[in-house]
Amino acid sequence: MSWEGRNIISIDEFSKEDFYRVLKNSEKMIDLLDKGTPLNVLQGKLMSSLFFEPSTRTRLSFHAAMKRLGGKIIGFSDPRTSSRKKGETTSDTIKMASAYSDVIVIRHPNPGAAKLAAESAEVPVINGGDGSNQHPTQTLLDLVTIQQERPPSSSDSNIDGCKVAFVGDLKYGRTVHSLCTALKNFDTSFKFIAPEELEMPKKYKEGTDYEETNELELSDADVVYVTRIQKERFPRPSEYERLKGTYVINENVMNELKDDAIVMHPLPRINEIKSTVDSDPRAVYFKQAFYGVPTRMALLAMVTGALEEGELI
């Protein structure tokens, strides 16, 4: 099925075949980047980058991906510099951007905003994160990270057979919601580690092989996915102050991990992973951030029709 014109709004819309195609095409982009191969398949194309919420990695990696493919970017990183400040609706902003560009990337604090944007646009819309709902492209680069950084498997996927431990804010964390949903398409099991107030919502646990605990016990994990306690998601600051720093990955914790385990984090981190852990080869969160570029290169090429069936046009 052609990806040209496809919206990337929710990870729920992906089949296992879709995931494998993204993994394959992202690997192709990694290889091209490693070789320094120049690409101009999106030359003459424009991407609207509409960030209604702060971002570093998502915004910059999308910009890098578009430029690596030969395209250009318009948009804003602060809605106060747009007509939003004058009262323009998000729908009208999207219609305007749709008329100016070939693909739209949107980040918005309101859950469901990306879906509404797709309904207003005439070009593909990619969800760069909508509130506490989903962050599908982060999930795809997370899958690419596991595929690339886990020991090679005899199966088509290095993801199959993994036990994934999710640590931290599992209630508000859109990255863990999306990744947990995606991993249900693979042969995986889960360990959910969170304070009682931040436990994984029931709907993400349904239909999975999981255990749940408040204790930071990681000796049986193949993948450790750490998240920060998100101050901006709490309705009361006092609740955040009480829960921040509940779990900290330090050298002692790393000593308990398997030799071939990997530690991931969507970043930014605050104090949940000590910087002294960064030099451990199992700490792959900066590599994970790098994989955002080839993964988003693959997605941009796919939805604009520059890459079909794994081949660049």
Query: Predicted confidence band at 252 (pLDDT cuts at 50, 70, 90)?
Result: very high
Residues forming a β-bridge with 223: 164, 262
Q: Is residue 130 part of a domain?
A: yes
Mean pLDDT, to the nearest integer, of 46-58? 92
Mean of per-residue pLDDT scores for the chain: 91
Catalytic: 57? yes
Q: Measuring CA to CA, how many Å separate 241 from each of 168, 231, 249? A: 14, 8, 19
Q: Is residue 1 part of a domain?
A: no
Catalytic: 93? no
- Do 125 and 70 belong to one domain? yes
Q: Is residue 5 part of a domain?
A: no
Catalytic: 86? yes
Q: Is residue 4 part of a domain?
A: no
- Domain range enclosing 130: 11-134+292-312
Q: Is residue 238 part of a domain?
A: yes
pLDDT at 240: 63
**pTM given for the model:** 0.91
Residue 176 has pLDDT above 70, yes or no: yes
For residue 35, give the CATH number of its domain.
3.40.50.1370
Q: How far apart are CA 77 and CA 73, in angstroms?
A: 12
Query: Predicted confidence band at 215 (pLDDT cuts at 50, 70, 90)?
Result: very high
- Do 161 and 276 belong to one domain? yes
- Residue 293, phi-psi category: left (phi > 0), alpha (psi -120 to 50), beta (remainder): alpha
pLDDT at 244: 73
- Do 81 and 147 belong to one domain? no
Q: Is 112 buried (19+), middle (13-18) or exposed (0-12) by CB count in 10 A?
A: middle
Catalytic: 58? yes
- Do 248 and 298 belong to one domain? no
E strands of 187-295, at which residues?
A: 189-193, 210-213, 223-226, 262-264
Residues forming a β-bridge with 196: none
Q: Is residue 2 part of a domain?
A: no
Residue 238 has pLDDT above 80, yes or no: no
Q: Which of 6, 28, 68, 107 is catalytic?
A: 107
- Do 88 and 227 belong to one domain? no
Domains held by the chain: number: 2
Query: Predicted confidence band at 241 (pLDDT cuts at 50, 70, 90)?
Result: low
Three-class SS state of 97: helix
Q: Give the chain's end-to-end CA distance (angstroms, integer).
A: 16
Q: Which of 35, 86, 202, 236 is catalytic?
A: 86
Catalytic: 304? no
Q: Which of 63, 135, 191, 228 is catalytic?
A: 135
